[in-house]
Amino acid sequence: MPTWKATACAYSNIAFIKYWGNINDELRLPVSGSISMNLDGLRTRTTVDFENDLKSDAAVIDGKELPLGPALDRISKHMDYVRKLANNPHRALVISETNFPTGAGIASSASAFAALSLATAAALEVRLTERELSALARLGSGSASRSVPGGFVEWYAGTTHEASYAESIAPVDHWALTDVVAIISKAHKATGSTEGHSIAASSPLQAARIASAPQRLETCRKAILARDFDAFAEVVELDSNVMHSVMMTGNPALFYWLPTTLTLMETVRDLRKQGVGVCYTIDAGPNVHCICAPDAAPKVIAALQNIPGVLELKQATAGGPAYVEA
Amino acid sequence: MPTWKATACAYSNIAFIKYWGNINDELRLPVSGSISMNLDGLRTRTTVDFENDLKSDAAVIDGKELPLGPALDRISKHMDYVRKLANNPHRALVISETNFPTGAGIASSASAFAALSLATAAALEVRLTERELSALARLGSGSASRSVPGGFVEWYAGTTHEASYAESIAPVDHWALTDVVAIISKAHKATGSTEGHSIAASSPLQAARIASAPQRLETCRKAILARDFDAFAEVVELDSNVMHSVMMTGNPALFYWLPTTLTLMETVRDLRKQGVGVCYTIDAGPNVHCICAPDAAPKVIAALQNIPGVLELKQATAGGPAYVEA
């Protein structure tokens, strides 16, 4: 019996141009492309072990065994894609550790499904290209597609499984941005992203968001390639505001901002007016990602650390690609 | 010399379907219609006196003489429309009192320009219909058109001066709604409505807002006529959220919400989930208008009065039309 066991690591990522809404929920084909940066140090490490006598898949996440239910089903279904490719029906024990709070606006499903994809493919000895791994990860969680390649990443929306994948548009060392994540809640969000994506189309503003996304993608891509922080900051905040507009006007309306979120957004805008290179972006949760130009992070941390309601500040620079441990 | 002096009163109004953006800034022809309720007791009383030897217009607002500048020019320009109709070049002393805080999301310009329109027309003995007075008031401040007729009011967008006016769609006693205004700031807003309207078109979401407005107008009109609070609450909150989405995604982005605004929005949604008939709507300012179904106001006040940051709760039921004092 071969060694059907492997461990992989992947970093979370922060989207500068957001993913919100699918043209195909089953395949997680998004309504528009997105651009992100991997987050060094905000990592999921996952071991997949098919060398066992399990009758069904089991998973231990951050030290706790997952009960039977939708979370375990989602992992099983994801491994099914690879089992099918490998023509291997074995069940697996999945052990996964994530070193940052999950479910509160830092994309833990991104690093989790990227790591699971690489570990499962490696364990079952299915050789996939980076592009194929990115598309595979997308099936588990859309944003996981962006945690497969390294550095600054663009996910091309595509209209088929094969055409919807992410790739690097600039390497890790291209631009020394720092994401200072202001954590104001560690609670699991009330409405998860998967459900949220299916609500997006009910907003009267989503069609306009989709129609205007290509322009924001181009502006952001160019700003990253030219390291133009002013242009970058403007489009990143705009895109975050546009996504939350769609969220707040859907049926049901989704409000992810807390009062402290607004305080932080205003503080960041004020800092930028004072000449500090920083902008905010917010995912499907209350925490605020403060993206800092090179050397701006200390000033931003000094301004944020004493704001009431800020529990913790995490820092991350650009992270590398997902990888299988030797 | 005739008695060229008159006093008029007008109530503020709260828009359920909002006005934001013009197709013609000079004439204040809006991009879409709007629906509102006059607010009994939130009143401006204005006396216009042409019996004097003034070389230029003068105005005393809430006890303070207005200096030369854009605010006085706006009043002068407004009286010019009536002076032209009356073929009367005299200058006026305007004395105006408003009994609620101005510039913080309660439409003080609405009651002010409605009262000024009626007082000026009466003083100069220009006989205008309610429709003509509404259109005249609109030239001073768009929302003032809605403070001319009484009760529940719809402003028809129109594409010419004459066609853009408001009229009652239901009388004062049609539905015993109460607006509980949670005042959290009495500061004058940073970006006034007139400037804000000219920014609206820069949002990538404004075209979608305009395109979807007729549906919300119809839903709101029907809900008011049928006294269907559930349908009313849903469309009123949606329309407020849609307008603030446009504000937050314009260039420059306009943020009128304060942290306490978000707290109040959530409290109102929670109350409604618990069966209390209440919904929120927010104008171009941080204060939250909590629109209460008949008999719900005491429960809403009990829930809001101890929220930190709430300075004052004002109550208003449906108000009558603007009128000239005998």
Query: What are B281-321's pLDDT values in tens digits?
Result: 999 989 999 999 999 999 999 999 999 999 999 999 999 99
- Between CA B112 and CA B71 the distance in angstroms is 12
Contact criterion met (CB < 8 Å) for A205 and B205: yes
Least trusted range by pLDDT, from A41-55, A96-110, B137-151: A96-110
List residues of A whose CB lies inside 8 A of any B CB.
204-205, 207-209, 211-212, 237-238, 241-242, 244-246, 248-249, 251, 253, 255, 257-263, 265-266
Report pLDDT for A326: 85
**pLDDT at B207 exceeding the cut of 90:** yes
Chain-chain contact of A262 with B259 (C-beta, under 8 angstroms): yes
Provide the mean pLDDT of chain B: 95
Check: CB of residue B22 under 8 Å from CB of residue B158: no
- Cβ(A239)–Cβ(B253) below 8 Å: no
- In which band, very low, low, confident or very high, does the pLDDT at A188 lie, cut at 50, 70 and 90? low
pLDDT at B105: 54
**Which of A18, A245, A246, A268 should one mutate to test binding to chain B, selecting the residue with the greatest count of B CBs within 10 A?**
A245
Q: Cα–Cα–Cα angle for B250, B254, B260, nearest 5°?
A: 140
Nearest to B208 among A204, A244, A265 (CB): A204
Among A20, A37, A32, A13, residue whose Cα is nearest residue A215: A32
Lowest mean pLDDT among A106-120, A183-197, B108-122, B193-207: A183-197
Answer yes or no: are the C-beta atoms of A105 and A256 closer than 8 Å: yes
User: pLDDT tens-digit profile of B68-99?
Assistant: 999 999 999 999 999 999 999 999 999 999 98
Strands A288-292 and B29-30: unpaired
Q: Which residue of A has its CA nearest to B244?
A: A245
> Average pLDDT, whole number, for chain A?
95
Q: Which pLDDT does position B3 carry in this prediction? A: 74
For A63-116, the pLDDT digits (tens) are 999 999 999 999 999 999 999 999 999 999 999 999 887 655 566 899 999 999
Looking at the DSSP bridge assignments, the partners of residue B292 are B178, B278
A253 with B265: Cβ contact below 8 A: no
Contacts of B306 (CB under 8 A, 6+ apart): none
- Considering Cα of B97, then B103, then B106, then B112, what sign does the dihedral take? positive
pLDDT at A1 over 70: no
pLDDT at B191: 74
pLDDT of residue A105: 54
Q: Given this model, what pLDDT does residue A187 score? A: 75
Question: Could you give the domains of chain A?
Answer: 5-174 (3.30.230.10), 178-317 (3.30.70.890)
- Please check whether residue A321 is in contact with residue A37, taking contact to mean a CB–CB distance below 8 angstroms: no
Q: How far is CA B72 from CA A176, B68, B78, B79, B148, in A?
A: 52, 6, 10, 11, 22
What pLDDT sits at residue A103?
A: 53
Cα separation, B289 vs B105, in Å, equals 9
- Taking only the tens place, the pLDDT of each residue in A153-174 is 999 999 999 999 999 999 999 9
Tell me: the pLDDT tens digits for B244-282? 999 999 999 999 999 999 999 999 999 999 999 999 999
Q: Rounded to a whole number, what is the distance in angstroms from the first to the last CA of chain B?
A: 19
Whether residue A252 is preceded by a cis peptide bond, meaning omega within 30 degrees of 0, is: yes
Q: Do B205 and A208 touch (CB under 8 A)?
A: yes
Q: What percent of chain B has pLDDT over 70?
A: 96
Q: HSE on the CB side for A172, CA within 13 Å?
A: 17
Could you give the ipTM of this predicted complex?
A: 0.92
Q: Which pLDDT belongs to residue B1?
A: 53
d(CA B25, CA B164): 13
Contacts of B7 (CB under 8 A, 6+ apart): B45, B46, B47, B48, B119, B324, B325
